Structure 1
Amino acid sequence: MRIVFAGTPEFAAVALDALLAGGFTVPLVLTQPDRPAGRGMKLQASPVKQRALAAGIPVTQPQGLRLDGKYAADAAAAREALQAAAPDLMVVAAYGLILPQWVLDLPAQGCLNIHASLLPRWRGAAPIHRAIEAGDAETGITIMQMDAGLDTGAMCVVERLAIRPDDTTATLHDRLAALGGRLIVEALEMAACGGLPHTPQPAEGVTYAHKIEKAEAAIDWTRPAAEIERRLRAFDPFPGGVATLAGEAVKVWRAEVVEGRGQPGEVIATGPVVACGEGALRLTELQRAGGKRGPAAAFLQSRPMAVGERFGAA
């Protein structure tokens, strides 16, 4: 089978690695344009582009795929490259562009998407983050036949994965990426012999995983401690949790739910322990502005915290 691959971040790069290791022919890779990154804000290739170039695979990076849109010239060039690649099927993983109908129709067997949730729960951009934030006990990978809707296509292969009590988006991401790579290989092997199932998604249980916004980092101490703790894990590595202490911005990365009462945001015990709207949090990993994230003990050496001080919103 000739497989065109479309993806951008590390989650997708793991899947591309799995396809190449599985011996599939990948004549073309689509990925997002290079973006400024790092302190010098130099243009940086996506993880998928880096893997593709290392494997000698041609790469195309359209800014858009709508033939009648702002980037129509890019879309036309991408269509020419796709037609020349003559794919049997396209695999899509966290690509970052909506595929118009002409792309969905071009491969002989359509497009399969590697989605990091148990559809129809957590359709959309940030399923890993939102599953942790919501306190879900499990998530998984759904290999889906793409259609014109937002993650609405038929389910082909599904496998569940437990969410651990200490999982962050970073740790869960890595396990899901590995699972996605394994399942897409299995799905393509089934498709090659005509045995790939297609099960319509149920109408019940639909939720949307909206994109993570930087403003969500602000900690609302009036919320229950358990909820804040989940958000901290969901927003690690981005955007973290942010609060202020005597006017200084402080990043809170990790915390433990403990018993305690006080005014929301108030330091009620050494540790430090901070009161929330319900219960309290022992802050275990912190970061000062311009500093490195690390244990609370190291933070307190440079910035001691007295009982009675109060954190505010960022």
Structure 2
Amino acid sequence: MGHPLKIIFAGTPDFAAIHLQGILAQAEHEVIAVYSQPDRPAGRGKKLKPSAVKQVALDNNIPVYQPLNFKETADQQTLQALNADLMVVVAYGLLLPKVILDAPRLGCINVHASLLPRWRGAAPIQRAIEAGDSESGVIIMQMDEGLDTGDMLLEARCDISAEDTGGSLHDKLADIGVPALNSALQQIAAQTISATQQDHEQTCYAPKISKRELAIDWQQAASVIQRKIRAFNPFPIAYTSLNGERIKIWQTSLSDSSGQAGQIIHADKKSIIVACGEGSLKLDVIQLPGGKALEIPAVMNSKAELFTTGTCFDQIEIT
């Protein structure tokens, strides 16, 4: 291995925090500073809460910087003055200008949660499940000015099962991403890493999830709806509506029954089956307004009158 690297780490959510912890646990390089998004209001009291990455930095006595963006010259100069060898970026949430990309001696690398060039953008984990992909992975990439367009340095792959949710795939990718990142850092320090250009003709994008996408359209095929439900679990959660009340759908199973789309075609103490445009879905875990996510037997124990056979969920106008 070459000389230890002086690293700036930039990231915000749990996925990024896990990678920061992975670098610190390896203890081969020095994280001299952490950049993260400004604290955001959270919880019922809307108190400012530090990001997961900031909390890891505070726990390890690493200086934290939280610029709103890098448009201010002072913020650019602060980062340049750190004289870092490398900047590691994981789900930071900001597009970095060229002045920042060029500041560290060896530039900036990114840990991206997809097999680039597939699923460039903000929500690669959810979009892979929603699209029915059978495989995902992590790419360590040399950053350039584009959106996830830089040369690829190292990849790690994993399968997507028919049961995977956004949460479980997140965890799979974190598990393979940390050793991939540490391997890349070791190779960068030793000057043995090589880069491969992306095939830009194979590009597809993973846009940020919009609120309107969360509403279930029962006219769609059951398989399409179920992939959406899995993709958006545990956040931001797909939903339907009954008598004007929003019901979050956490988990479903495919069923062969058929009927009018959006109608409950079977309901008893243990199960609820809803017809879709093609096929049907058995509801397994749902969340009523003001309540917790519960399995269907627990829901039917107290709210069976809401879910009788023949009842139709509201038609939600998706605009």
Q: Is the 8 A contact 1:254 1:284 kept in 2?
A: yes
Q: Which residue of the partner structure matches residue 19 of structure 1?
A: 23
Q: Partners of 1:246 and 1:122 in 2: how far apart?
A: 37
- Pairwise mapping of residues 119-268 of structure 1 onto structure 2 (< 5 A)? 119-268=116-265
Q: Which residue of the partner structure matches residue 28 of structure 1?
A: 33
Q: Which residue of the partner structure matches residue 91 of structure 1?
A: 88
Post-superposition Cα deviations, 1:247-283, rounded to whole Å, max 9, x if no partner, equal 3221111110110111100111122110000000000
Once the two structures are TM-superposed, the CA of residue 313 in structure 1 deviates from its matched residue by: 3.5
Once the two structures are TM-superposed, the CA of residue 192 in structure 1 deviates from its matched residue by: 0.7
Q: Partners of 2:167 and 2:24 in 1: how far apart?
A: 24
Q: Which amino acid aligns with 1:2?
A: K
Q: Which residue of the partner structure matches residue 294 of structure 2?
A: 294
Residue range with higher mean Cα deviation, 83-92 or 29-38: 83-92
Q: Is the 8 A contact 1:112 1:146 kept in 2?
A: yes
Post-superposition Cα deviations, 1:81-140, rounded to whole Å, max 9, x if no partner, equal 322321111000000111000000111111000000000000000000000000000100
- Which of 54, 63, 67 is matched with 1:49 structurally? 54
Q: Which residue of the partner structure matches residue 103 of structure 2?
A: 106
Post-superposition Cα deviations, 1:177-233, rounded to whole Å, max 9, x if no partner, equal 222111111001001111111000012321100001122110000000001000001
Q: Partners of 1:250 and 1:153 in 2: how far apart?
A: 41
Q: Partners of 2:224 and 2:87 in 1: how far apart?
A: 39
Residue range with higher mean Cα deviation, 297-306 or 185-194: 297-306
Aligned length, in residue pairs? 306
Q: Which residue of the partner structure matches residue 6 of structure 2?
A: 2
Q: Which residue of the partner structure matches residue 69 of structure 1?
A: none
* Identity across the alignment (%): 49
Q: Partners of 2:276 and 2:35 in 1: how far apart?
A: 46
Q: Partners of 2:147 and 2:230 in 1: how far apart?
A: 26
Once the two structures are TM-superposed, the CA of residue 302 in structure 1 deviates from its matched residue by: 2.3
Once the two structures are TM-superposed, the CA of residue 173 in structure 1 deviates from its matched residue by: 0.6
TM-score normalised to the size of structure 2?
A: 0.94
Q: Which amino acid aligns with 2:313?
A: F
Q: Partners of 1:109 and 1:135 in 2: how far apart?
A: 37
What stretches of structure 1 move > 6 A for 4+ residues in a row? none
Q: Partners of 1:222 and 1:300 in 2: how far apart?
A: 25
Q: Is the 8 A contact 1:113 1:143 kept in 2?
A: yes
Q: Partners of 2:279 and 2:98 in 1: how far apart?
A: 50
Q: Partners of 1:128 and 1:9 in 2: how far apart?
A: 14
Q: Secondary structure at the match of 1:303?
A: helix
- Which of 55, 59, 66 is matched with 2:64 structurally? 59
Post-superposition Cα deviations, 1:30-51, rounded to whole Å, max 9, x if no partner, equal 0000000011110000010000
Q: Partners of 1:112 and 1:236 in 2: how far apart?
A: 29
Q: Partners of 1:239 and 1:55 in 2: how far apart?
A: 30
TM-score normalised to the size of structure 1?
A: 0.95
Q: Secondary structure at the match of 2:251?
A: strand
Q: Partners of 1:85 and 1:276 in 2: how far apart?
A: 57
Once the two structures are TM-superposed, the CA of residue 174 in structure 1 deviates from its matched residue by: 1.3
Unpaired runs of at least 5, structure 2:
none
Unpaired runs of at least 5, structure 1:
67-71
Q: Which residue of the partner structure matches residue 312 of structure 2?
A: 310
Q: Is the 8 A contact 2:156 2:177 kept in 1?
A: no
Q: Partners of 1:55 and 1:264 in 2: how far apart?
A: 53
Q: Which amino acid aligns with 1:312?
A: D
